[in-house]
Amino acid sequence: MPDIRRIVRRLSAPRACALSIVALLFATGVSGAQEGRQLIDGIAAVVGDEVILESEVDEEVYIYQARTGMDVSGAEGADIRAEILREMVDEMLLVAKARRDTVVVEEAELEAELENRVSDLRERHGSDEAFRAALAEEGLTLDELKDLYRDDIERRMLAEKVVRQEVHSNIDVTWGEVEDYYEEHREEVARVPEAYRLAGILISAQPSEEAKRAAFEKLSRAREELEQGVPFEEVAREYSEDASASRGGDLGRIRRGMMVPEFEEAAFSLEPGETSGIVPSRFGFHIIRVEEATDEGIRARHILVRVESRPEDYQRARARAESVRQMALGDADFASLAQEYSDDPNTGGAGGELGWFRTGEMSPSIDEAVSGVEEGGVAPVVEGEGGFYVLKVLEHREEGVAELDEIREDLRDYIYGLKVEEAYSEFMDGLSDEIYVDIRGAETEVADPEALDASTEPGDPEALDAGTEPAEQVTEPGSGLTE
């Protein structure tokens, strides 16, 4: 079921499925960038005794374009490419510094970071099934993907450790500095945008009983074939509506916490070789078979028949949402209505409380709906992902200048970020003086490594994909409100 807070807030990046799973997870290894290039691969930069190839920069530019949707052609594209190359050079310098100073990343730290990235990617794909289907399209297992990029992630973590040790650890901000900065720059840093504190009720477009019955009957026929001895793989290929159907329903290895609760509860109750009955979930109806079980998890197959909402289901949901809105406009308590009617499990039980949202931060349709609604008022019903939303404005703040006490902590963080940026720049300039760096403006044929400039200082930097952000992003303290 959708989370209203995620829907209300505008998503800032394209959908994950538009980019290869490898690129999304590790921002490296994407082939095919700038297909029109006819030049022999060239050297973009030399750092110590390592080189960054033009093709490697191409890959990073391609990933940047895929993630942001920005045009990377023309003069602006050249600036973006130059910035990406500069980041790649910085990362090489930082890793060289880490190697020289014997900075290490413990295996437990590395494994935790890999797991975090995999979890994030799984969430971006919406379900474990979709995630595993994307892996299959890449021809990779989860373990193979992690092994393939383990060294790259370790290098990035080394670079980050150096920045923390050499830059962040030497910076402090006093409260006196905060007060002085506020007095000098209050119009710049203390301006608070217009914002709304909202409560919401989600009325989802539930499939009809007829659609549920049709899906259940289809899966019942699949169950009958299994009971007659037809191999699970054959039945899955014939009946399943999941991406895993072509693999005979194979989901690979599953650990607890990876699947929706209904599926997981049924799957982990089975012994190897056992097949479940029909299991309902928010995706539809499943039949699950466990192939193997270990202490770390299970390997399972499933057959999924989806239950889709139809146009008439959306019409019914809209009518219900309008009815709930009318009750909210009357004497009914909104929090009680949310607890009774909202289909959002994350906020319904809390009376529909969503938090603060700045104007321009919300999706355009919701921004428009709440604009002009007074405190305590209820906005018109808004259609969005998963159904329809009834929104109440709990509080409204006009744009203005915040008092120091309102932004004291945020302003301290902002000043800290400014200091980090300055210190990082000075640190990298010094590192560039210690380790040979040559950023080349034109493409050159790859030379024999032994023929590189003899003046290159020896070092052991490792190639990293672009994107390490050495300093915390500097965000003006007045630009947001605590949710």
Q: For residues 404 and 190, what is the distance between their CA atoms, to the nearest angstrom?
A: 8
Please give the average per-residue pLDDT across 382-399, as a whole number: 90
Contact partners, residue 64, CB within 8 Å, separation at least 6? 70, 72, 80, 84, 466
Q: Residue 119: enclosing H or E segment and its boundaries?
A: helix 107-125
What pLDDT, on the 0 to 100 scale, is given for residue 174?
Answer: 96
DSSP letter, residue 9: B
Residues of the chain with CATH 3.10.50.40: 194-206+311-398, 209-306
> 303: helix, coil or strand?
strand
Task: Write down the CATH number for the domain with range 14-173+404-479.
Answer: 1.10.4030.10
Residues of 24-39 as b/e, b for ≥16 C-beta within 10 angstroms?
bbbbbbbeebeeeeee
Least confident of 94-108, 117-131, 394-408, 426-440: 117-131
Average pLDDT across the chain, whole number:
81
pLDDT band at 442 (very low <50, low <70, confident <90, very high): very low
Q: Which CATH architecture has domain 194-206+311-398?
A: Roll (3.10)
Q: Is the pLDDT of residue 457 over 70?
A: no
CA distance 25 to 138: 13
pTM above 0.85, yes or no: no
Closest to 373 (Cα-Cα) out of 395, 347, 400, 399: 395
Q: Per-residue pLDDT tens for 275-319?
A: 999 999 888 999 999 999 988 789 999 999 998 888 888 999 999
pLDDT of residue 163: 93
Give every CB contact of residue 408 below 8 A, 6+ residues apart in sequence: 175, 178
Q: Which CATH number fits domain 209-306: 2.40.50.100, 3.90.1150.10, 3.10.50.40, 3.40.50.300?
A: 3.10.50.40
Q: Which two tokens stand for residue 246?
A: 């072509």
Checking if the pLDDT of 382 tops 80, the result is yes
Residues of the chain with CATH 1.10.4030.10: 14-173+404-479
Would you say residue 11 has pLDDT above 50? no
Say how far apart CA 275 and CA 266 lie, in whole Å. 10
DSSP-assigned states of every residue in 329-390: HTT--HHHHHHHH---TTTGGGTTEEEEEETTTB-HHHHHHHTTPPTT-BPPPEEETTEEEE
Question: Angle of helix 74-100 relative to helix 142-166, nearest 10 degrees?
Answer: 80
Residues forming beta bridges with residue 2, ordered by sequence position: none
